[in-house]
A and B are shown apart, each in its own frame.
Chain A
Amino acid sequence: MFSTPQIVAALVRLEVTHVVSVPDSTIGPWESGIAAAGIRLIRVCREGEAWAVAMGLHLGGATPVVMIQCTGLFESGDALRNVLHDWQVPIFAIIGYRSYLNQETLPGDTCLVFTEPVLDAWKVDYRLLTRPDQADQIVEHALACRAAGRAGAIVVAEGKA
């Protein structure tokens, strides 16, 4: 969906210092461009780590973004709850929405059933982007969340598992 230059441009405009990530087949190819832009990539072993690492970065004065697939969102619910709601740390995330654009690899992928309800359940202020020409909304939504002092997310439609 989004090209590496589109993602990197958004992160640079947001002055992101660290990307805390577990890759998938959409997010992974962005990594080299992110690193080339001078943004530190922190690879975690599971997505639950990502929220607490990002919390520490934020408390230490950095500007992190969590970048994971929706399956990692499912995995990391309690960590997200603690960071975003107990501690109210305004972490922004980019979340890949597996199988949204097609289900050739995983017919009937239940990510389509649960991703948005889970985001709603965790009270994450998200915006779903499904077309490459919506890249400007990454920055727009992130800045709106930042100005409000709240967490938020962009959900990026993915075309394959």
Chain B
Amino acid sequence: MSGMSGRSAVEVVRRWRGPGDVVITTMGTARDWMAGPMTPLDVVLVPSSMGQATSLGLGIALAQPTRRVVVLNGDGSLLMNLGSLVTIAAAGADNLVVVVFANGVYEITGAQPVPGVGVVDWVAMAGAAGIRSAERIETLEAWEREAPRVLAGPGPTLVSLTIEPEAALAGVGPRSPGPAAARGRALREALTGG
């Protein structure tokens, strides 16, 4: 195990995201993201349709090509929408970064193992899908060191973080931060200026 917790990995993103970057969180990453300061460009995809964070990120990235869009996704969520990697690559969204929090479990439902845990190779899968930049980072120290480069480099990018599940968070899901429709309208205003 790497010792990298999801919460610590999220904080690295918070520290290195650019001021105009959109950050999308869902499931466990949404829970951890909401524990810190938020900005108008944060999208807490709660409630969600599980797996759709990458697709949402692609849409924003295509509509806002001058902004960086960073999606903090779980491995279980990405398994549910694997084709989105191919869609992202085919669409050429070079401003999109998918950060996979690979903890091997469905954390918020009680830490049941995801299919293929220990076998699925996210870097290989992303490369085979046509994602330009794909890499695995296994320690918090390495993530802290590499995050500025990974988050700012030409994409589309997938970075797989090896996350150690936290027993205390098993079964702890995110709470909605407020009515989704109003949050969506506010985001659109923030992105388009009105």
Tell me if B52 is interfacial: C-beta within 8 Å of chain A: yes
Pair A52/B192 contact, Cβ less than 8 Å: no
B52 near A60: Cβ-Cβ < 8 Å: no
Q: Which of A60, A61, A62 gathers the greatest number of chain B CB atoms within 10 Å?
A: A60
CA distance A130 to B191 in the complex (A): 39
Which residues in A have their C-beta under 8 angstroms from that of B117? none
- In contact, A52 and B181 (Cβ under 8 angstroms): no
A57 B52 Cβ-Cβ under 8 A: no
Stretch from A29-37, A40-48, A98-106, A116-124 that touches the partner: A40-48
Closest to B191 in A: A60
Are A86 and B52 in contact, with the CB atoms below 8 A?
Answer: no
Closest B residue to A46 by CB, please name it.
B83
Report the minimum CB–CB distance from A129 to chain B (whole Å). 27
* Prevailing SS type, chain B contact patch: helix
Q: Which residue of B lies closest to A77 (CB)?
A: B49
Q: B180 within 8 Å of A by Cβ? A: yes
Partner pick for A61 among B49, B81, B90, B188, CB 8 A cutoff = B188
B-facing residues in A43-85 (Cβ within 8 Å): 43-46, 48-62, 64, 78-79, 81-83
**Beta-carbon contacts of B15-54 to A below 8 Å, as 1s and 0s?**
0000000000000000000000000000100011111110
Once the chains bind, are A56 and B181 in contact (CB under 8 Å)? no
Chain B, range 140-194, C-beta contacts under 8 Å to A: 180-181, 184, 187-188, 191-192
B84 — which chain A residues lie within 8 A by C-beta? 44-45, 49
B55 CB–A CB distance under 8 Å? yes
Which residues on A sit within 8 Å (CB–CB) of B91?
42
**Inside 8 A of A87's CB, which chain B residues have their CB?**
180-181, 184
Task: Say whether B87 contacts A59, CB under 8 Å.
Answer: no
A134 at the interface (CB under 8 A from B): no
Is A7 interfacial (CB 8 A cutoff)? no
Complex contact A86–B191 (CB within 8 A): no
Q: Chain B contacts of A81 at CB under 8 A?
A: 49
Asked if A88 CB lies within 8 Å of chain B CBs, one says yes
Is A60 a contact partner of B59 (Cβ separation < 8 A)?
Answer: yes
A155 at the B interface (CB under 8 A):
no
Cβ distance A157 to chain B, nearest Cβ, rounded Å: 28
18 contacts between A and B (CB under 8 A): A17-B63, A20-B59, A45-B87, A46-B83, A48-B49, A48-B55, A49-B83, A55-B56, A56-B60, A56-B62, A57-B60, A57-B62, A59-B63, A60-B63, A60-B188, A82-B52, A86-B181, A88-B184
Q: Give chain A's interface residues, CB within 8 Å of chain B.
A: 17-18, 20, 40, 42-46, 48-62, 64, 78-79, 81-83, 86-89
